[in-house]
Chain A
Amino acid sequence: MDDLLPLLVAVPLLGAALLVAGGRLVPRPVAETVGCAVAATTAALALVLLLNSSPPFLEWAGGWTPVNGRSVGIVLIGDGPGLGMAALASLLTLAALAYSWHYFDEPPSGHAGSFPALLLLFQGGMCGFAIAGDLFNAFVWFELMGVAAYALTGHRVEEARAVQGALTFAVVTSLGAYALLMGIGLLYARTGELGMHAIGRGLDAHGRPDALVLAAFVLVMTGLLVKAAAVPFHFWLPDAHAVAPTPVCMLLSGVMVELGTFGVWRVYGTVFAGPGGVPAPEFERTLVTLGALAAVIGAVMCWYQRHIKRLLAYSTVAHTGLFLIGVGVLKPEADDGIALYLLGHAGVKAALFACAGILLDRYGSVDEHALHGRARELKGVAVLFTLGGLGLAGLPPFGTALGKSVTEEAVGGPLTVLYVAASAVTAAAVLRVAGRVFLGLGPKPADGTGSGYETTGSGERPETRHRLSRIPDTMTAVPAVLVAGSLAVGVVPGFAKVVAHSVNETGSAGVAASAHWTPAGVLLGLLSTLLAGVLALLAVTRPKTFAAPDRALWLRRLQSGHVGDYVAWVLVGATVLGALTLPGLLGG
Chain B
Amino acid sequence: MSRRFRLWLVAVGGAGLAALFTAAALDLPAFGGDHHPYGDRAVHASLSRHTANVIASVNFDQRAFDTLGEMTILFAAVIGCGALLRQTRDEHRATPEPQEVARPVRRYALLVLPVALLTGLYVIAHGQLSPGGGFQGGVVAATSLHLLYLGADYRALERVRPVALYETGDAVATSAYVVTGLAALIGGSAFLANTLLPYGTFNTLSSGGTVPLLNAAVGMEVACAVVVLLARFLDQAVEIEEGNGT
Residues of A with Cβ closer than 8 Å to B? Answer: 3, 6-7, 9-10, 13-14, 16-21, 24, 59-64, 70, 72-74, 108-109, 111, 114-115, 117-118, 121, 124-125, 128, 136-137, 140-141, 143-144, 147-148, 150-152, 154-155, 157-158, 163, 186, 188-190, 192-194, 210-212, 214-216, 218, 557-558, 560, 562, 564-565, 567-575, 578-579
**Complex CA distance for A24 and B162, rounded to whole angstroms:** 14
Considering the chains assembled together, what is the distance between the CA atoms of A144 and B72 in angstroms? 7
**Given A61-B190, A62-B61, A193-B38: A128 and B69 interface contact (C-beta under 8 Å):** yes
Contact at B12–A575, with CB atoms within 8 Å? Answer: yes
Asked if B175 contacts A212 (CB within 8 A), the reply is: no
Inter-chain contact B65/A61, CB cutoff 8 Å = yes
Residues of B within 8 A of A18 (CB): 171, 175
Listed residue (A14, A60, A193, A214) with the most chain B CB atoms within 10 angstroms of its CB: A14
Tell whether A124 pairs with B72 under 8 Å between CB atoms, given A10-B181, A117-B79, A193-B37: yes
How far apart are B91's CB and chain A's nearest CB, in angstroms?
10
Q: How far is the CB of A236 from chain B (nearest CB, A)?
A: 15
The list of the 10 closest CB pairs from A to B, nearest first, reads A151-B80, A571-B13, A575-B16, A215-B24, A108-B86, A211-B23, A63-B190, A63-B193, A140-B69, A21-B171
Residues of B within 8 A of A9 (CB): 68-69
Q: Are A121 and B72 in contact (CB under 8 A)?
A: yes
Distance in angstroms between the alpha carbons of A567 and B65 in the assembled complex: 32
Within 93-144 of B, Cβ neighbours of A (below 8 Å) are at: none
Point out the residues of chain A lying under 8 angstroms from B184, CB to CB: 63
**Contact across chains for B70 and A118 when beta carbons are under 8 A apart:** no
Within 8 A of A (CB), among B1-17: 1, 6, 9-10, 12-17
Measured CB to CB, the closest approach of chain B to A186, in angstroms, equals 6
Q: How many A-B residue pairs have CB under 8 A?
A: 238
Interfacial chain B residues near A137, Cβ < 8 Å:
63, 65-66, 69
Given contacts A18-B171, A118-B83, A214 and B14 within 8 Å (CB-CB): no
Report the minimum CB–CB distance from A559 to chain B (whole Å): 9
**Is B189 part of the binding interface, using a Cβ–Cβ cutoff of 8 Å?**
yes
Are A568 and B6 in touch, CB under 8 angstroms?
A: yes
- Could you say which of B58, B68, B167 has the most chain A C-beta atoms within 10 Å of its C-beta? B68
Question: Could you list 30 examples of A-B contacts with CB < 8 Å?
Answer: A13-B72, A13-B178, A16-B75, A17-B172, A18-B171, A20-B170, A60-B190, A61-B65, A62-B61, A62-B190, A73-B62, A73-B65, A125-B69, A125-B72, A136-B66, A137-B66, A140-B70, A140-B73, A147-B73, A151-B83, A151-B84, A157-B85, A158-B90, A188-B38, A215-B21, A562-B1, A562-B6, A565-B1, A565-B9, A572-B9
A211 to chain B, nearest CB (A): 4
Alpha-carbon distance between A144 and B174 when the two chains are bound, in angstroms: 14
Q: Which residues of A contact B68 (CB under 8 A)?
A: 9-10, 13
Q: A151-B77, A215-B21, A573-B13 are in contact. List 7 more A-B contacts (CB 8 A).
A: A13-B174, A21-B171, A61-B65, A148-B76, A151-B79, A155-B84, A194-B38
Contacts of B70 in A (CB 8 A): 140
Q: Is the CB of B10 within 8 A of A20?
A: no
Residues of the A chain whose Cβ atoms lie less than 8 Å from the Cβ of B12: 571-572, 575
